[in-house]
A and B are shown apart, each in its own frame.
Chain A
């Protein structure tokens, strides 16, 4: 059965701290790995990763994929209170058609 596991489940930090969120997966027919941010509404897309070792960056957020060890990390530097959210990892799997398997998320709270 396809599985996506995120850790930690929750995290509380202070503004300015750097955090690392983890996502490991066991799936068949891997195509890509995606990160989403969910505040009090719909998940919004952050990154899609398809190749190992290539870092994707967007401002203070960055992510990298290791397809050999089957995991990805999402880093947030100089955290701000606006970074407080649930961060979701999803793996896109394909076998003719395709679908997304989500982890349960990491709940991040950034204190002022």
Chain B
């Protein structure tokens, strides 16, 4: 498996524009997590899905953020409208509830810059 795949790797956008980040989890994994990483706050959990169903979105900072998982192999995180304070690295991670080895595997991240 190629691992967790995120796109784009880098995104530069102007304030007010819509931004869509994409993630393809590892095949067979039933959990998908979206994290945001900044120097000040570290890795913050934004939302996570189990079997494509959103379980906990309490980490989503505002209504400007939304996430979907239409099927087991694809998820999006959308920011509309974007603001400069949204600049960060956004990671997608997936894992499998095997009962033994449940570590999360991370994608390479999307570095978002809002100017």
Contact = CB atoms under 8 A, between A and B. Distances in A.
9 contacts: A34-B104, A42-B109, A45-B104, A45-B105, A48-B103, A97-B56, A99-B45, A102-B35, A102-B42
B60 to A, nearest CB: 14
Contacts, number: 56
Interface of B: 4, 31, 33, 35, 41-45, 48, 50, 55-56, 91, 93, 97, 101-109
Interface in A54-112: 88, 90, 92, 97-105
A7 interface: no
Interface of A: 31-32, 34, 41-45, 48, 88, 90, 92, 97-105
Given A41-B108, A88-B42, A100-B45, 10 more contacts: A32-B102, A42-B91, A42-B109, A45-B104, A45-B105, A48-B103, A98-B97, A99-B55, A102-B44, A102-B45
A21 to B, nearest CB: 14
